[in-house]
């Protein structure tokens, strides 16, 4: 199989590219990435000499480029997206352009050539849960709360529309919060790890009691692969880590792993529209495709901390660039 992986130089996409090339000796991967702030060729360094991998720098909104790439692949796995809620609050237009219009361009090309299309989405499209609410599942109504989640919800609806209207062979997956190698250090876990390694404080929004379900990225890659190859066309699959935890508890676990005390925590003003709880019921993918997470939260945090310790040059180069300017705008210089 020859896959076109959009956003393959980003966090989850690069892990997926490496996973596919390692697991399937006959498969080929073409990675399409615009190399915006979160896309990094260093994320693909382990496969840059692999003859079965080709990197193409470009925008998913470029119809001519996308048409040629889709024509020459067997399936599209669509990761490319603007993904950080804080950035969406400051600049929602970029999220609409990439997440909605970019998905439309890809769908048009996939329709033209009748290509298999898997769309990677998020649990944030479902809104927020109260403490006693049942977890999100494939039948949960959409209720996005931020420009980011609204743009992802729109793209999900577009993908479904192309299945129902044109018969395009699609699947969708909605995942919980990923973490692991190559995680861009604006999100909670990599930001906390790298700040602590630099002797800085860790900013925690509000009271830190927001609950998230945490999914180790390698488990997510396996789930996407199963949905791509064995999932039912036209269906959605929710992918969760079976690891609900508060943000402040995550930070305290990382403090312990890095030998720091709670004086390193800095509570900051909560962001607008901050969802209180997410949780995923992944029983459908467990029943139909025999998938379930294999890495516990404790194991995953240990693995992630160790990866960041061993790849200090990677994250220091990332934090010294565009992200550092953003970080200082939000929290000031440390």
- DSSP assignment of 69-89: HHHT-SEEEE------HHHHH
Q: Which CATH number does the domain housing residue 74 bear? A: 3.40.50.720
Decide if pLDDT at 332 tops 60.
no
Considering its fold, how many domains does the chain have in total?
1
In a domain, 48, yes or no: yes
In a domain, 224, yes or no: yes
Give the mean pLDDT of the chain: 94
Q: Which of 33, 82, 123, 225 is the catalytic position?
A: 123
Residue 261 within any structural domain of the chain: no
The pLDDT of residue 333 is above 80: no
Asked if residue 96 belongs to a domain, the reply is yes
pLDDT over 80 (residue 323): no
Instruction: Please report which confidence band the pLDDT of residue 325 belongs to, taking 50, 70 and 90 as the band edges.
Output: low
- The token duo for 316 is 């220091």
Which among 59, 82, 124, 186 is annotated as catalytic? 124
Q: What angle do CA 190, 282, 308 make, to 5 degrees?
A: 15
Q: Can you give the pTM of this predicted structure? A: 0.93
124 counts as catalytic: yes
Give the pLDDT of residue 85.
82
In-domain check, residue 7: yes
176: left (phi over 0), alpha (psi -120 to 50) or beta: beta
Average pLDDT over residues 5-14: 97
User: CA–CA separation, 322 vs 60, rounded Å?
Assistant: 21
For residue 57, pLDDT over 70 is answered with: yes
Average pLDDT over residues 222-251: 98
- Please name the residue ranges forming H helices in the chain: 11-23, 63-71, 85-90, 92-95, 103-113, 147-166, 188-197, 217-230, 247-257, 283-289, 297-310, 312-319, 322-331
Spatial distance between the Cα atoms of 47 and 204, rounded to a whole number of angstroms = 35
User: Sheet of 211-216: strands edge to edge?
Assistant: 177-179, 211-216, 244-246
In a domain, 11, yes or no: yes
Q: Is residue 173 within a helix (H) or strand (E), and if so which, with residue range?
A: strand 170-175
Structural domain contains residue 162: yes
Pair of tokens at residue 215: 């999914």
Each residue's pLDDT tens digit, 62-118: 999 999 999 999 999 999 998 778 888 889 999 999 999 999 999 999 999 999 999
Q: What is the mean pLDDT of residues 233-262?
A: 97
Provide the domain limits for residue 153.
2-179+215-239
Confidence of residue 322 (pLDDT cuts 50, 70, 90): low
Tens of pLDDT, residue by residue over 111-147, are 999 999 999 999 999 999 998 999 999 999 999 999 9
Tokens for 264, please give them. 């390193």
Instruction: Give yes or no: 281 in active site.
Output: no
Q: In which band, very low, low, confident or very high, does the pLDDT at 318 lie, cut at 50, 70 and 90?
A: confident
Among candidate residues 201, 194, 190, 294, the one with its CA nearest the CA of residue 241: 294
For residues 234 and 276, the model is more confident at 234
The secondary structure of 219-246 as a DSSP string is HHHHHHHHHHHHSPTT-EEEE--S-EEE
| 278 and 264 Cβ atoms separated by less than 8 Å | no
Residue 46 is predicted with a pLDDT of 96
Of these residues, 148, 182, 216, 278, which one is catalytic?
Answer: 148
Angle at which helices 217-230 and 11-23 cross, to 10°? 60
Q: Is 287 domain-assigned? A: no
Task: Specify whether 225 is catalytic.
Answer: no
């Amino acid at each position: 199989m020859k896959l076109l992986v959009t956003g393959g130089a980003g966090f989850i996409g690069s892990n997926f590219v490496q996973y596919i090339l390692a697991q399937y000796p006959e498969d080929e991967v073409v990675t399409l990435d615009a190399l915006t702030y979160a896309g990094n060729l260093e994320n693909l360094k382990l496969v840059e000499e692999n003859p079965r991998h080709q990197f193409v720098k470009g925008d998913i909104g470029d119809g001519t480029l996308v048409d040629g790439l889709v024509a020459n692949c067997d399936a599209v796995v669509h990761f490319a997206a603007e993904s950080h809620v804080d950035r969406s609050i400051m600049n929602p237009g970029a999220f609409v352009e990439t997440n909605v219009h970019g998905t439309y361009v890809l769908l048009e090309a996939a329709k033209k050539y009748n290509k298999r299309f898997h769309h990677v989405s998020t649990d944030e499209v479902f809104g927020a849960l109260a403490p006693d609410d049942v977890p999100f599942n494939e039948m949960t109504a959409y209720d996005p709360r931020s420009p980011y989640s609204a743009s992802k919800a729109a793209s999900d609806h577009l993908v479904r529309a192309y299945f129902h209207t044109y018969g395009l062979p699609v699947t969708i997956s909605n995942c919980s919060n990923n973490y692991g190698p190559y995680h861009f250090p604006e999100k909670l876990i990599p930001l906390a790890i790298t700040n602590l390694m630099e002797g800085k404080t860790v900013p925690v929004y509000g009271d830190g009691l927001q609950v998230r379900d945490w999914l180790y990225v390698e488990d997510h890659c396996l789930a996407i692969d199963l949905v791509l190859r064995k999932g039912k066309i036209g269906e959605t699959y929710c992918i969760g880590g079976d690891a609900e935890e508060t943000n402040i508890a995550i930070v305290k676990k990382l403090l312990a792993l890095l030998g720091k005390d709670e004086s390193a925590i800095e509570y900051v003003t909560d962001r607008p529209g901050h969802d209180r709880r997410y949780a995923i019921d992944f029983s459908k993918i467990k029943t139909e495709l025999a998938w379930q997470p294999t890495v516990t939260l404790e194991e995953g945090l240990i693995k992630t901390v160790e990866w960041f310790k061993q790849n200090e040059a990677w994250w220091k180069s990332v934090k010294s660039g565009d992200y550092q300017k953003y970080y200082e705008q939000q929290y000031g210089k440390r």
